[in-house]
Amino acid sequence: MSRVRTAVLISGRGSNLKALISACAKPQFSAELVLVISNQADAAGLRHARAAGIPARIIPHTEFNNRESFDAALNAALGDADVELVCLAGFMRILSEGFVLKWQGRMINIHPSLLPSFKGARVHERAIESGVRISGCTVHFVTPEMDSGPPIAQAAVPVHAGDTPETLAARVLEAEHRLYPLALRMIAEGRVRLENGRAVFSGYECADDVLISPRE
């Protein structure tokens, strides 16, 4: 079976990277992790890559004069590894439009909200302040406008009355670790693609269960 050569870009702890490593370690999984890149030399996620025997590269953004030159270095590293698909997992850099367009349809990201709600930062704090009863996470195609690409998969979690941003973040993160491998597998198997600005699906089933919060 030919597996899709996949890279993961990180900046920090790499918990979603760890979930992707576990999924890709299964012999029948349709994607193969061939490269991890971090813009931070002290990113804890690099340890996960090295422990799994996945090549890891550090490309510090501070060594480049502008965003475009940094992105050119990223692109060169991806090309050297014959990468076909890119996963952003806590990669804390805004990518240039040229880079995004080059990888459009082949680059995905995970965001800790049910997009299009709560784009950007302070997601869990803003969700609690707004009074929503359900939050969650979204895996989406990356497009030039931040957190605005077509959703591929979403997972919902309840917002509890006593939640803090930290407790809600922990609950959403558990869902992220289940959702990201699912979305990666769907793309690698050719069951979802970006077409005319939308995610087009084939050969999949939607979940039938409903999350209602709060329960009676």
Which phi-psi region, left, alpha or beta, contains residue 62 (left: φ > 0; alpha: ψ -120 to 50)? alpha
Q: Which two tokens stand for residue 168?
A: 């809600």
Q: Which two tokens stand for residue 16?
A: 């979603």
d(CA 155, CA 172): 8
The CA distances from residue 75 to 59, 99, 139, in Å, are: 11, 8, 22
Contact (Cβ atoms closer than 8 angstroms) between residue 57 and residue 77: yes
Longest dimension (CA), the chain: 57
Q: Which two tokens stand for residue 103?
A: 């990888």
Exactly one of 48, 111, 124, 140 is catalytic; name it: 111
Q: Which two tokens stand for residue 66?
A: 């502008």
Strands (E), 14-170: 31-38, 56-58, 85-88, 107-111, 134-141, 151-158
Specify whether 48 is catalytic. Answer: no
Residues belonging to the active site: 111
